[in-house]
A and B are shown apart, each in its own frame.
Chain A
Amino acid sequence: MTENAGPVLETQNLEKYFDQSTSIIDTLLRRENEKVQAVDGVSIALDSNESQGVIGESGCGKTTLLKTLMGLYQPTNGKILFKGNDTAEFGRKDWKEFRRNVQIIFQDPFDSLDPKLTIRETLEEPLKIHNISNVDERIVDILEQVELNPPEKYLDRFPRQMSGGELQRVSIARALILEPEVILADEPVSMLDVSTQASILNLLSELVDELDVSMFYISHDLSTVSYVCDRINVMYLGRIVESAPTSELLEDPQHPYSQALIDAVPIPDPKYNRGYTTLEGDVQNPVGIGDGCRFRDRCPDRMDVCEQTPKFIDVESDDDRKVACHLYYDHPQHTETAHTDEEQQEPEVSAQ
């Protein structure tokens, strides 16, 4: 693998479609089933030591994106680049390197540790796979780092003997024990109660800073994402609709969907009289939805041009932000906007 200074993990126009189950009759009639477009043209670049969040409502494709990034799903189209190398061209050795450097933390702490293994055995596994010595020492170290003290007390316990917060700490320990470069976190605190959430979030962001790890943090909860991440991507029905540094997104959301999201964050003051978000309708079913802005049916600012897929472009005046909305760029002819598929990609970072 070649090293370069570009992003650690990057996706270019990543697509993941799922087949719906086809019946025999469909096959006989050669009827093509509509695909479920779970992830549709996502381009994200994660720099080293950066924490990026992906936020969106349930079913918008966050978890699919994460699993595709992890290499657990084969992407339908587009590329995943790890340190500039395309994962599609990975050999056995490259995958092993990738597996060592990209780790995952799941949402449900009660189900993300094997109930039949002790904590020691769970933490041992990645080390054994990658032939790393001084196993015991490392396990004790990492347990101390995730603040499970004293480590000896936890080593021979089973997952069923521990609380949700403790289990999530073990999950974090398992992800960090290989000293990876990237952590993919799939709503790691959403199943914990609020007081535990805070301590796990603190721990996670401290460790990420301390150990020079980059993190992809996926959640539906804007407050936890903004707490941990430097940059937030807003996802709606498989597409990223806006990407901006956290503070800017929170202060001045551009895309109508981001605006609605941020308006909906509760303010902990009962006397404060805020306007209520009025977002009509439901999320569309992501089956064969074709072209056009995904948000158009619910958008308060809907125009005719929204039947076409918006470009994902830099926001004028600020090249650190991107938004996919027709409101933010001029259209030469409103009736015939140029085909935008190619332009939708982010400028490519040199791959070699």
Chain B
Amino acid sequence: MVKNNLSLMDNRFANNYVVRNVVGSLRLMLEDKATMVYFSYLVFVLFLGAFGPMLAPYPYDETLYVNGEILRSAPPSLAHPLGTNNIGQDIFSRLLYGARPTMITGLLGGSMIISIGMTVGVTAGYVGGRVDNTLMRITDVVYGVPLIPFAIVLVSLFGIGFVQSIVVIGLLLWRGNARVLRSQVLQIRERPFILASKAAGASRTRIVFKHVLPNIAPMAVLFFSLGIGFSILIQATLAFLGVTSPFIPSWGVMVRSAYNSGLMSQAWWWSLPPGLMIAFTVLATFMFGRSYENIAGQGNEEAFVQAG
């Protein structure tokens, strides 16, 4: 399958090795039905993030009146598919608006996590020696920092805000990435193809970018998607705890408002949808990353099997 697909792509763009690997792996992954479902779901949430506000029937902060009275905690109806909350806002609209901050949280948090983690991990693993020791001890220290209390402290230092809550996540959660990617690099850098490249006179930069990074890419993609999931999850936690801006209508903030109103159990149409959206989005990113790793890693595994 791969053989045909890859040899058919012969224009320059498709032969760029980044494009080639990503396209090739995606194509393979989407042959799996479950992965196809996760992937479609993620595309759907991304779509909501981009166009949700335009699709929303009402502005997210508009208080709705019926006959001059605020429409408080109305159950789902045709006009309001998910009902309204205690101050008369349309929950369906808020859910659509909420996709955007959630996606921003995921992508920003995930990118921060993977970029810090990968920089630290690859540098430590490839340079080795004292640099490795220093970076890994720093990582150990970061491991010792409890996430939620630290986030609360940082937020109180930098002020409560949407972006702050994401940055806090990014500044802490890179630790796992750094460790795992370092161990990957340690394995790869002793392999003969790296030595052969050194023997040909390749510079450190060239080896890292041409040989090391492409070979840890499947792992990095897995961690990127895990990072997206974790960022969304933890941002929701922080929102629930009230250490993020309550004015940006992310799904986490919606759950918190529902909880605060004391209507958590009565107004299920208010608390349940954002909770489920968070759960499904996180699940989809995790599962998607898993299957990318499974399939993109296959090339190497085959080689190992043959060699062994």
Q: Is the CB of B307 within 8 A of A110?
A: yes
CB-contacts of A57-101 with B (<8 A): 67, 70, 72, 95-96, 99-100
Q: Is the CB of B21 within 8 A of A129?
A: no
Q: Is the CB of B202 within 8 A of A111?
A: no
4 nearest CB pairs, A to B: A99-B201, A110-B307, A112-B192, A126-B200
Interface segment among B92-100, B209-217, B264-272: the answer is: B209-217
Does any Cβ of A come within 8 Å of B198's Cβ?
yes
Bound complex: CA A104 to CA B193 (Å):
10
Interface segment among A20-28, A37-45, A153-161, A326-334: the answer is: A153-161
7 A/B residue pairs, CB under 8 Å, sorted by A: A108-B192, A114-B211, A117-B17, A158-B6, A160-B299, A164-B306, A171-B196
CB-contacts of B171-221 with A (<8 A): 191-193, 195-203, 206, 210-211, 214-215, 217
With contacts A116-B21, A160-B299 taken as known, whether A70 is within 8 angstroms of B199 at the C-beta atoms is yes
Q: Is the CB of B193 within 8 A of A113?
A: yes
Residues on the B chain within 8 Å of A156, using CB: 6-7, 10, 15
Residues on the A chain within 8 Å of B192, using CB: 106-108, 111-112
Q: Is the CB of B191 within 8 A of A99?
A: no
Does any Cβ of A come within 8 Å of B130's Cβ?
no
Name the distance in Å between B64's Cβ and chain A's nearest Cβ: 56
- In the complex, what residue of chain B is closest to A114 when comparing beta carbons? B193
Q: Is the CB of B199 within 8 A of A125?
A: no
Residues on the B chain within 8 Å of A307, using CB: none
Name the distance in Å between A166's Cβ and chain B's nearest Cβ: 12
How many residues of chain A get a CB closer than 8 Å to chain B's CBs? Answer: 37
Does any Cβ of B come within 8 Å of A140's Cβ?
no
Residues on the B chain within 8 Å of A72, using CB: 195, 198-199
Does any Cβ of B come within 8 Å of A240's Cβ?
no
With contacts A104-B195, A108-B307 taken as known, whether A158 is within 8 angstroms of B201 at the C-beta atoms is no
Residues on the A chain within 8 Å of B7, using CB: 156-157
Q: Is the CB of A106 within 8 A of B303?
A: no
Does any Cβ of A come within 8 Å of B77's Cβ?
no
Q: Is the CB of B200 within 8 A of A103?
A: yes
- In the complex, what residue of chain A is closest to B206 when comparing beta carbons? A129
Does any Cβ of A come within 8 Å of B300's Cβ?
yes
- In the complex, what residue of chain B is closest to A105 when comparing beta carbons? B196
Name the distance in Å between A136's Cβ and chain B's nearest Cβ: 14
Q: Is the CB of B299 within 8 A of A191?
A: no
Chain B contacts to A: CB under 8 angstroms: 3, 6-7, 10, 15, 17, 21, 191-193, 195-203, 206, 210-211, 214-215, 217, 299-300, 302-304, 306-307
With contacts A158-B299, A159-B303 taken as known, whether A125 is within 8 angstroms of B17 at the C-beta atoms is no
Bound complex: CA A129 to CA B200 (Å):
8
Residues on the B chain within 8 Å of A117, using CB: 17, 210-211, 214
Bound complex: CA A113 to CA B300 (Å):
11
- In the complex, what residue of chain B is closest to A117 when comparing beta carbons? B17
Name the distance in Å between A9's Cβ and chain B's nearest Cβ: 14
Bound complex: CA A182 to CA B175 (Å):
45
Bound complex: CA A164 to CA B302 (Å):
13
Name the distance in Å between A100's Cβ and chain B's nearest Cβ: 7
Instruction: Other than A102-B199, A114-B193, A126-B200, give 15 A-B pairs with Cβ distance below 8 A.
Output: A67-B195, A72-B198, A104-B195, A104-B199, A115-B299, A115-B300, A116-B17, A116-B215, A125-B200, A129-B201, A129-B203, A161-B3, A164-B306, A174-B200, A191-B307
Residues on the B chain within 8 Å of A125, using CB: 197, 200, 202, 210
Bound complex: CA A104 to CA B210 (Å):
19
Mark interface residues in A264-307 (1 if CB within 8 Å of B CB, else 0).
00000000000000000000000000000000000000000000
Name the distance in Å between B150's Cβ and chain A's nearest Cβ: 30
Residues on the B chain within 8 Å of A102, using CB: 199
Q: Is the CB of A126 within 8 A of B299?
A: no
Q: Is the CB of B17 within 8 A of A112?
A: no
Residues on the A chain within 8 Å of B193, using CB: 111-115
Bound complex: CA A125 to CA B209 (Å):
13
Bound complex: CA A107 to CA B195 (Å):
12
Residues on the A chain within 8 Å of B299, using CB: 115-116, 158, 160
Name the distance in Å between A177's Cβ and chain B's nearest Cβ: 9
Residues on the B chain within 8 Å of A110, using CB: 303-304, 306-307
Q: Is the CB of B201 within 8 A of A174?
A: no
Residues on the B chain within 8 Å of A126, using CB: 200-201
Q: Is the CB of A95 within 8 A of B195?
A: no
Best-surrounded residue of B195, B200, B306, B307 (most CB of chain A within 10 A): B200
Does any Cβ of B come within 8 Å of A130's Cβ?
yes
Q: Is the CB of A104 within 8 A of B214?
A: no
- In the complex, what residue of chain A is closest to B308 when comparing beta carbons? A110
Bound complex: CA A160 to CA B2 (Å):
11
Residues on the B chain within 8 Å of A104, using CB: 195-196, 199
Bound complex: CA A72 to CA B199 (Å):
8
Name the distance in Å between B15's Cβ and chain A's nearest Cβ: 8
Does any Cβ of B come within 8 Å of A121's Cβ?
yes
Bound complex: CA A59 to CA B211 (Å):
29
